[in-house]
């Protein structure tokens, strides 16, 4: 991370996070990096993704939680999404 240019982030995607036994160890080690890292917790099970989000999300704000089916195109499933809280008809 010391060699990472300023303003850039690293994204780490864990495939098959399950209940998070390994995830929590990795996220704890990454916590000191703050906004320079994004950890993507994935699983094919919606229940396990929801469990991870509820259990680890509040402690590790740099983590995102996503469904991932490796039998489908992976990239669109782990790409960051833009969430609009207040949609509007005009930005101007």
| Whole-number Cα distances in Å, 30 to 1, 2, 20, 25, 73 | 10, 13, 15, 9, 27
For residues 51 and 8, which has the higher predicted lDDT (pLDDT)? 51
Inform me whether the pLDDT recorded for 85 exceeds 60.
no
One DSSP character per residue, 9-35 reads -EEEEES--TTSHHHHHHHHHHGGGGG
Say how many C-beta atoms besides its own lie within 10 A of residue 14's C-beta. Answer: 19
Give 17 or 78, the one with higher predicted confidence: 17
Strands of 1-92, DSSP E: 10-14, 37-43, 63-67
**Per-residue pLDDT tens over the stretch 13-38:** 899 999 999 999 999 999 988 888 99
Domains and their CATH numbers in the chain: 10-78 (3.40.50.150)
> Does the pLDDT at position 82 exceed 80?
no
Q: Does the pTM exceed 0.85?
A: no
């Amino acid at each position: 991370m010391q060699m990472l240019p300023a303003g850039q982030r690293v994204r780490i995607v864990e495939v098959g996070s399950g209940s998070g036994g390994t995830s929590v160890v990795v996220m704890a080690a990454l916590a000191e990096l703050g906004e320079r890292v994004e950890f993507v917790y994935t699983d094919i099970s919606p229940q396990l993704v929801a469990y991870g989000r509820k259990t680890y999300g509040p402690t590790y704000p740099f983590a995102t939680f996503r469904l991932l089916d490796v039998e489908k195109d992976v990239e669109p499933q782990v790409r960051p999404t833009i969430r609009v809280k207040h949609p509007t008809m005009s930005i101007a």
